[in-house]
Amino acid sequence: MSRPFRFGVNTLAIASADEWRKRCRQAESIGYDVLLVPDHLGMPAPFPALVAAAEATERPRVGTFVLNTGFWNPALLAREVATTDALTGGRLELGLGTGYVQAEHESARLPWGSPGQRVDHLARTIEELDRLLADPEHVPHAVQTPRPPLLIGGNGRRMMRLTAQHAEIAAFQGGRQAPGKPAGTLELASAEDLDATVATYREAAAGRTAPAELNMLVQQVVLTNDRRATARGFAARFDNLDEEQLLDVPTLLFGTVRQLADQLRERRERYGFSYITVLDAAMETFAPVIEELRGT
């Protein structure tokens, strides 16, 4: 049986405290289930933003999407997580990733490391969070036990194993490092690429006692009566995928409200994606699709 849909919105910029609270209340009224913020230099600090989001709303959960783990010392992160979970009344979902923008680490004067070293640090961070937050003697205390739900986002076989072992939510953003481009330059993965990544995850997760929730980050939402013309226009921006491939890419949604809802139902069936995240620019555009899908 398919999981019910759940919807998140990831906000990249906050103009003011009043604007942020208003935006969060609007997202709640539309029907979003999770209010999310990323972790990049030049964007809002995630934990204060999430506390403010929870204070402005009643129903949605709040989450990091995702923390750049290379920015964080595990013990200090455990303090932030526990405090934020307490101040949000146990509504926190913790999203972690390795980080993918080398320039941010250089700007922060933090080590970048090889892909393997960044995954090593993520693994150590997860182990320390599990140990510290489950310890009844750890202060501050998180509300949720043994810790807030963990979302891990990433690609690659080792990341899939780590996600399968530890995460309650497996996040697939449908991007990959563009060959020959600077670190942090992403290109869209094709539907077939995502098939392979999800298959790798499922193989690694075969021994789980409870299946994880699968998340997909949608990069673009376009309401249109002509899906093909929209895909043709996007083909000029994505030189690694043609028009036909773009029509099938799970991270792009083109069509009428009914067509978008049908695409998400098909992708839930094909991949298992039931937790759908959109970027804040699409928050209102996506609203009628939430209404169409709610309860299905």
| Total residues belonging to the chain | 296
Which whole number is the average pLDDT over 253-281?
Answer: 97
Residue 216 parent element (H or E): strand 213-218
Residue 31 has pLDDT above 90, yes or no: yes
Give all domains of the chain, ordered by start, each with its CATH number: 6-219+256-293 (3.20.20.30)
User: What are the tokens at 273?
Assistant: 């994606």
CA 119/CA 16 separation, integer angstroms:
35
Residues 6 or more apart from 258 whose CB is under 8 A from it? 292
Residue 177 has pLDDT above 70, yes or no: no
pLDDT one-digit tens code per residue, 184-241 = 666 788 999 999 999 999 999 999 999 999 999 999 999 999 999 999 998 888 878 8
Mean pLDDT, rounded, of the chain: 94
pLDDT band at 182 (very low <50, low <70, confident <90, very high): low
Long-range contacts of 70-77 (CB under 8 A, 24+ apart): 70/98, 70/99, 70/105, 70/110, 70/111, 70/112, 70/113, 70/118, 70/121, 71/39, 71/99, 71/108, 71/110, 72/125, 74/124, 74/125, 74/128, 74/129, 74/132, 75/128, 75/132, 77/125, 77/129
Report the chain's terminal Cα–Cα distance, integer Å. 11
Residue 184 pLDDT:
60
Residue 185 pLDDT:
62
User: What are the tokens at 202?
Assistant: 């499922």
Residue 179 has pLDDT above 70, yes or no: no
CA 140/CA 180 separation, integer angstroms:
45
Q: Torsion-angle region of residue 219: left (phi > 0), alpha (psi -120 to 50) or beta?
A: alpha
pLDDT band at 176 (very low <50, low <70, confident <90, very high): low
Sign of CA dihedral 188, 191, 196, 199: positive
